[in-house]
Amino acid sequence: MLKKLILASALMAAGSAYAQENTDISGANFQSGKADAALAALGKQAAASGSRLVITAPAEWHAKIAAKVKAGGNADVVLREGFYENVLVRVESKAAAAAAAPKVAETSKADAEKAKAEAAKAKAEAERVKAEAEKAKAEAELEKSRAEAEKARAEAEAAKARAEAEAAAARAATQAPAAAAPAAVAAAPKAAPADDADAIRARFEKTLNDGRSADGNLSVAALQSGDTLYVDGPVRAVTRREGRRLALYWLDGDIDVRRSELKPLATNRYQVLSAVRGEGTLRKEFAAGAASLTAREPADGSPARTSLEKSLNDGHAISETIEPAKLKSGDVIYVSGDAAAVVRRIGRDIVRFWLVGTLDLQQAGLQADGANKYKVLNDTVH
């Protein structure tokens, strides 16, 4: 009987040896240092009792946890990776660990399955992030190639324009007497037909929008800071960053690219610095020079009249006159001294006038378009 009592007592003592203590420390307390003393105390107790500390926490915390526990004593520490931002400390004796081995194995298997699922989820998330990064990189490279293509196109057009201007100047020098040579007059361009405008839009869509159609139209008042304005003949294109996407729009109406709200980036390319409202002001580089023009009909046979009629009307006489207040959007003014000829397109026809009266050359409704050439942007010039 006595032997049975002793055996029962031993079994109860062994059962108590298997008892385990769990300590749950929040991530906030661990990261703030409030749990340092508790970890050191657990290390001290485990070292004294020969127990083992099984600690589950995020992998990046393991080094710090080990240091805090070892500060209390040289305890046996097992660190396991956890996926929650807390520190779970389990104190177990070696005997308890051996007795609970089957259960631990089952738990470890479940933990392994859970860890495997978490790892698969993390891998999928990493692949998603990588795909987004690669997409952003591709978009950046595409934008860079577009900018380089636009720069090359702009430089080619600028070189072509310079060559044409030099050729025109050479022709004018040989045709006009040196003593009575009028001011240089730019040759009247042919109005761009609809087919040319469509071709320009198609080129913009290819270089600025990867061949996709534009997203729609924008009014001048709808321009925003950060927009980029591209000018090519009668077409005005606007690119706008919308999230990770670069959107393309066509600008309705015309705009004076000399305005202070526009910053030149390259030939025929401007950055919008702020919203465009009212008549506005011109950039300081356009404030110099003649402020106004007092135009009169040139005398018959005068060098200015002869030169303008030859370059703008195939040498035929220009007989009509027009006042500045009657100018309309789209009119083009060619100046030679105090003589100014106005070219207006009406449907398929082109008519020409002599400008008579005083015209403010620095108003926002006029846009300089070369030497002694101005484009009328609205119907309110004066």
Mind listing the pLDDT tens digit for each residue in 34-61? 989 999 999 899 899 889 999 999 999 9
Q: Look at residue 219 in the predicted model and tell me its pLDDT.
A: 92
Residue 281 burial (10 A CB sphere; 0-12, 13-18, 19+): middle
* pLDDT tens string 299-350: 998 888 998 999 999 999 999 999 999 999 999 999 988 899 999 999 999 9
Q: How many domains does the chain have?
A: 2
Domain holding 186, by residue range, is 176-376
Q: Which of 99, 132, 149 is the last residue of a domain?
A: 99
> Do residues 258 and 361 share a domain?
yes
* Local confidence band at 257 (pLDDT 50, 70, 90 cut-offs): confident
Residues 167-182 have a mean pLDDT of 51
Confidence (pTM): 0.32
Q: Which of 99, 117, 139 is the last residue of a domain?
A: 99
Q: Which of 81, 99, 117 is the last residue of a domain?
A: 99
Q: What CA–CA distance (Å, rounded) separates 319 from 297?
A: 9
Relative to beta strand 76-81, strand 86-92 is unpaired
- Least confident segment among 3-17, 103-117, 201-215, 232-246: 3-17
In a domain, 366, yes or no: yes
> Do residues 231 and 326 share a domain?
yes
Q: What CA–CA distance (Å, rounded) separates 359 from 158?
A: 29
pLDDT higher than threshold 70 for residue 2: no
370's tokens: 């070369």
In a domain, 152, yes or no: no
* Local confidence band at 233 (pLDDT 50, 70, 90 cut-offs): confident
Which residues does 38 contact at the CB level (< 8 Å), separation at least 6? Answer: 23, 25
> Do residues 67 and 213 share a domain?
no
> Do residues 212 and 336 share a domain?
yes
CB-side neighbour CA atoms (13 Å) of 170: 6
> Do residues 232 and 343 share a domain?
yes
Q: Look at residue 172 in the predicted model and tell me its pLDDT.
A: 56
> Do residues 309 and 211 share a domain?
yes
